[in-house]
Amino acid sequence: MTRLLVTGSTGFVGRVLCADLARRGYLVRATVRPGRERPAGATEEAVVSDIRGDTRWDSVLEGVDVVVHAAARAHVLNDAAANSELYQEANARGTQGLALAAARHGVRQFIYLSSVKVNGEWTGSRPFREDDAPAPKDAYGSSKLSAEQLLAEISARFGLHATIVRPPLVYGAGVRANFLRLLRWVDKGWPLPLGAVENRRSLVSVWNLSDFVGHLVEKSESYGKVWMVSDGVDISTPELLRRIGAAMGRRVRLVAVPESALRLAGSLLGRREQINRLCGSLVVDISSTRSMLGWEPPLDLDTALKRTVTWYEEQARGDRGT
């Protein structure tokens, strides 16, 4: 039986990955921090503290065929530039150390969950493609690019088959940060000044992302390449809010405030990045993923949003003690 090591297994994406890969019949070994419980689906665990360049992996990789590296120092909005070294240590050198150890242990495939932020922050006249020149704009995106470059070097030197995935915004049960904020806004019924926004955004549900990773395992066509992934539907922020509202059974009140006014307000209130994400476009092209790998997103956007809303409402009821 093929044994997979999943890092970041207790995180938002990692938990779904472990359960999904186990359903596909794989033996899943999950890395967990000291004192954390093994996620559902994992049949084995390996205790690993912080992932750094000097993390020891030998015992963890014993008998492993495929590594799915989902652990990372996550992007934080408005994170201080001084923290760039922390991103490099965890995301770049941590990945390098794991990949070198994987090569030593004869691991067949190394699947790395990178980020579309390697490509950049915003798209213009056309979507981002996997062969575009990288243009990260922050420390997180730069660290992910460094990790990809280090993986390419290790693959060339030692024959490790690396597969890189660049997802856009991931949402689903357990989501945090900006997407959770959207859910709360709709839930509270506040008037939202986003009715005039005409952007386009690619998203990927955690379930579609997990399905894609499962699709990649042992698929030799993916070796040595970068792949874009999304739900296959690109929508505006107002349309996303309306669809969340439909999933909640709530009317979304959108006020048409000019984008220029929103961006000015964001600058004055110190929320420029947040407004940019609500108004800007970021679209990925998954045509190569579809044609070369034969993959289609199994879950449509509205179904994935409904699942996400169901989780959100269950959490809200729990917080109220009902």
Decide: residue 105, CB within 10 A, 0-12 exposed, 13-18 middle, 19+ buried.
middle
Q: How many CA atoms lie within 13 A of 136 on its CB side?
A: 19
| Alpha carbon distance 174, 73 (integer Å) | 17
Strands (DSSP E) found in 181-257: 201-205, 226-228, 234-235
* Catalytic-labelled residue, pool 26, 87, 112, 140: 140
Structure tokens at 32: 């967990």
Structure tokens at 35: 């004192």
DSSP state of 113: E
| Alpha carbon distance 274, 271 (integer Å) | 5
112 is catalytic: no
Nearest Cα to Cα of residue 114 among 137, 138, 91? 91
Give catalytic residues, as residue numbers. Answer: 140
